[in-house]
Structure 1
Amino acid sequence: MKKYTDVNTLEHVDHFIANHPLALLFISRTGCSVCHGLLPQVQELLEDYPEVQMGHVNADELEAIAGHFSIFTVPVILLFGDGKEYLREARIVHMDLFEEKLSKIYEGFLE
């Protein structure tokens, strides 16, 4: 399973995105059962995408993340390429569709 970095401050979030050409943020809450079920699936999927660095934000610990990225629900998956948001999935994430989108973006960045 792909390891992730716990990101605890907005400065750390911005630094994480700026310092990884392909950065994925997984935003969840402590009591969210959907979040807890989805996280390991995303980690497993990212094993096939070694250039994507994964960060995890607990919105209960960093409430300002909601305003920072205009997030209204969890879980949220944000994929950034060179600091720009390329993909946003929220609440109900269909893994096959997510992988299809991720694959296209990933291939574009490797070219």
Structure 2
Amino acid sequence: MHTLETLAEVEAFVAAPFSVLIAKSHTCATCQQITAHLNAKIPELNTVPTAQVFLEDFEAFRGHYVVFSVPTVLVFSDGKERLRESRFIRTDVIRRALLAYQESQ
């Protein structure tokens, strides 16, 4: 998974028609496993751009996107945040958002 490190990279990434961004921490045990868990529960996730951000390495992201707890999964469509799941990630909600987007295409 690609790691984004600047606001310019994030802005370009979320401008895609549909993208998933995962905010993590290097010291969070749950964060280290969230990607594998999401891929296992949401096989369709492999068809959309997905990236990660480590909050310790990228303080500007924390304030710009108002992410203060990890893990946080942000779902974007055409540059707009469509869904935010934080700490206790509901994979069924993320999957429904992804399927709704795919059906609209």
What's the CA shift for 1:39? Answer: 1.6
Counterpart selection for 2:55 from 59, 62, 67: 59
Task: State the Cα distance separating 1:23 from its structure 2 match.
Answer: 1.1
**Of the candidates 61, 75, 79, which is equivalent to residue 79 of structure 1?**
75
**Aligned 8 A contact 2:3 2:51 in 1:** yes
Q: Map of 1:90-109 to 2, 5 A cutoff?
A: 90-108=86-104
For residues 43 and 88 of structure 1, the distance between their equivalents in structure 2, rounded to whole angstroms, comes to 17
Distance in 1 of aligned mates of 2:52 and 2:7? 12
SS in 2 for 1:71: coil
Q: What TM-score do you get using the length of structure 2 for normalisation?
A: 0.86
Aligned equivalent of 1:15: 12
Give the Å deviation of 1:38: 1.3
Provide, for residues 69-91 of structure 1, a one-character-per-residue CA deviation record: whole Å limited to 9, x for no partner: 11120111101111111110000
Larger displacement relative to structure 2 (49-58 or 78-87): 49-58
Tell me the TM-score normalised to structure 1 length.
0.82
Partner secondary structure for residue 74 of structure 2: strand
Q: SS in structure 2 opposite 1:60?
A: helix
Shift of 1:51: 4.3
Matched residues, number: 105
Which structure: greater helix fraction?
Answer: 2
1:90 maps to a residue whose letter is: S
The 8 Å contact of residues 16 and 23 in structure 1, kept in 2 or not, is answered as yes
- Quote the RMSD (CA, aligned, Å): 1.8
In structure 1, list runs of 5 or more residues that go unmatched.
none
